[in-house]
Copies of this chain bind each other. A is one copy, B any other.
Amino acid sequence: MALSVGEYASDGSRADILEAAARCFTERGYYATSIDDVARSLGATKGRIYHHYPSKADLFADVFRVGMDMNHAAIESARALPGKALDRWKKLAFTHVVQMIVTRSFQKVVWEGTEMYLRGATTPEQRSAFAELHKSRSRYGDIFRQTIAEAKREGDMHFSNLSIANQLMFVTLNSPIFWYSPQPGETRDDIDDIAWQVVAFAARGLGVNGGDF
Q: Which residues of A contact B (CB under 8 A)?
A: 27-29, 31-32, 115, 119, 121, 158-161, 164-165, 167-168, 171-172, 175, 178-179, 194, 197-198, 201-202, 204-207, 211-212
Contact = CB atoms under 8 A, between A and B. Distances in A.
Contact of A168 (B160, B167, B198): B198
Contact of A167 (B167, B175, B207): B175
Given A171-B171, A171-B178, A204-B204, A197 B29 contact: no
23 contacts: A27-B119, A28-B119, A28-B121, A29-B29, A31-B32, A32-B121, A115-B178, A159-B197, A160-B197, A161-B197, A164-B197, A165-B197, A168-B172, A168-B198, A168-B201, A171-B175, A171-B179, A202-B205, A204-B205, A204-B207, A204-B211, A207-B211, A207-B212
A155 to B, nearest CB: 15
A111 to B, nearest CB: 9
Contacts of A175: 167-168, 171
A-B CB proximity, top 10 nearest: A31-B31, A205-B205, A201-B205, A171-B175, A167-B179, A204-B204, A168-B201, A31-B32, A204-B205, A164-B197
Contacts of A206: 201, 204
A115 B115 CA distance: 16
Contact of A158 (B121, B164, B212): B212
Nearest to A180: B167
Contacts of A119: 27-28
A180 to B, nearest CB: 9
A199 to B, nearest CB: 11
A147 B209 CA distance: 24
A52 to B, nearest CB: 25
B31 A165 contact: no
Contacts of A204: 204-207, 211
A159 B194 CA distance: 12
B165 A201 contact: yes
